[in-house]
Amino acid sequence: MKRYYYIQPKYFKDTSANGTGDFNGISEKIKTIKKNGVDVLIIPNNLFIYKSAIIEEIISKEMAYGSWEDFKNMIQKLKENNIKLYLEFKLSQIAEDIDSFGNLNERINIDTSSYNIQNLEIEKNESYYITKNDYTKSNDDSLESKIGILKDIWNFYLQIGISGFVLIFDQNKNLLKKGKTDNSLRALYSNVHSNLADVEIIYKISNKNYNVFKNSKNKLFDTLILDRIANLKTKNIAKVIRDILSFEDIIYNITYLNEKRIIHHYITNRICNDEIAKMLLTILLFNNKKHFLYFGDELGLNLFNKFKPPFILDVFLDNYFKEDSTKLIYPWNTNFNAGFSTSNSIKGVIENSYEFNNLKIQKNENNSVLHYFKTISNKFKKNAFQQSFNYKLKTKVSGNILELSYQTDDNKLILLANISEFIIKIKEVGADCLISSNWKLDINKDKETLNPFEVLIYTDSSYNRNSYLEH
């Protein structure tokens, strides 16, 4: 499984007092990242530092985010640790990046030691501006003209050790129809690979663009990341999830599935947030046929807090499937935001650090995502459960009920999710094989209904019935 990690630009800067290039703790971060088996580090491109043509403002930005030398040294340090670095670009901001790239080229050749940036309110006459920018905006505003210069920018970064590029597709899908635009994007892919065959080009897309991209692998991109889910509404969630599960050869950005990015935007019911999150996590996290992208602290994993043991994904998975685990990892928030914490809220910690995190500890609350996964781990032993996910997946949607069937030669694991505000009658499920996300359920009773926004998981080794849904 290929793993990607994303950091913000604040980690560019060399903050070490002795000038050895610590890059705001990047050396320690590399150690932690390597423990998590990360292959690729994704960062926003650093051209935003050079957006201004005023040299004092550029220097000020460099003091905040790091100089060009800091940036190159960080790339070298990552390469020494066998971590590839990818740069992120937005398709909608190519013109702006072109201007910034011209400013960067000029900045590299300017000795800034004599500049005083303490007072940026000085009169900015023309002597304070970079004037030899060969990459200023052209009268030709077509994407084709911009892509030609983007090739130059990417080749420039390849020469200093960048290993790949992530292009955020935030434009209309018509850009990929047959014609000049389509050819220019394909030419960009071809040009980069003609220089270095092992360079990876990734597109970040939404689910609505998947069909446009799916037949363009090795022509337009090497990898797709699904990081935006469009047109999601309460009445079509089941269908959207079913469709997404059918996508092949795609990386799921599971950190996008939190309340700010998807669920809370469309659904205000807190219970619904929790239950959908449990279902999505169950599907995505344990679907070993799919890659996934995780963003560390955005997910509340607290990777880089030196006072706590680092979060390690394999340790997390392993501990969740240990019977009577004495060292349970708590990586998700358990409040209404459906098991995800933001970088400024509750952090993931390990139980033996409880005394240091009394106010932040994520408790095993009855109606939490954590409790849900712990229940699964208690019901299914590690090997048996993971074997269940070496499966043949079948999906079925009936109204707002989603049924997933994970079938192997030996058993069948079924997930039912009621994504509606109504109680749904189902065929009777025996209590001996029942796991429910509804913590109020009497586990000793057979199950005949699904509560609103409830997720139900159970085993079926008899294969006597094709579906438990009442139709």
Tens place of pLDDT for every residue, the chain, 471 residues?
Answer: 566 777 767 666 776 655 555 666 677 667 766 766 677 888 889 999 999 888 888 888 888 888 888 888 888 888 888 889 999 999 888 889 999 999 998 888 876 665 554 444 434 333 333 444 444 444 456 677 788 889 899 999 999 999 999 999 876 555 666 555 568 888 889 988 887 778 999 998 888 888 888 888 999 999 888 877 776 666 776 777 778 777 877 877 655 544 334 444 444 444 444 455 555 555 555 555 555 554 444 333 444 444 544 444 444 444 433 443 333 333 333 333 333 333 233 233 223 333 333 223 334 444 444 455 555 555 544 444 445 455 677 778 887 788 877 776 666 777 787 777 678 888 888 766 666 666 556 666 778 888 766 777 777 655 444 444 443
pLDDT of residue 50: 93
Domain-terminating residue out of 228, 243, 267: 228
pTM: 0.68
Q: Are strands 223-228 and 392-398 parallel, antiparallel or unpaired?
A: unpaired
Domain-terminating residue out of 165, 198, 228: 228
Q: Is residue 215, in this structure, part of any structural domain at all?
A: yes
Q: Give bridge partners of residue 201 from the DSSP assignment.
A: 165
Q: Is residue 25, in this structure, part of any structural domain at all?
A: yes
Q: Is residue 433, in this structure, part of any structural domain at all?
A: yes
Q: Where residue 55 sits, what CATH number does that domain have? A: 3.20.20
Tokens matching residue 144: 């084709």
Domain extent for 101: 3-120+127-228
Among 385, 358, 387, 389, residue whose Cα is nearest residue 374: 385
Spatial distance between the Cα atoms of 203 and 26, rounded to a whole number of angstroms: 26
Domain count, the chain: 2
CA 466 vs CA 83, 110, 140, 425, 471: distances in Å: 47, 72, 60, 16, 12
pLDDT of residue 296: 41
Q: Where residue 406 sits, what CATH number does that domain have? A: 2.60.40.1180
Domain-terminating residue out of 186, 210, 228: 228
Q: Is residue 382, in this structure, part of any structural domain at all?
A: no
pLDDT of residue 303: 43
Q: Is residue 217, in this structure, part of any structural domain at all?
A: yes
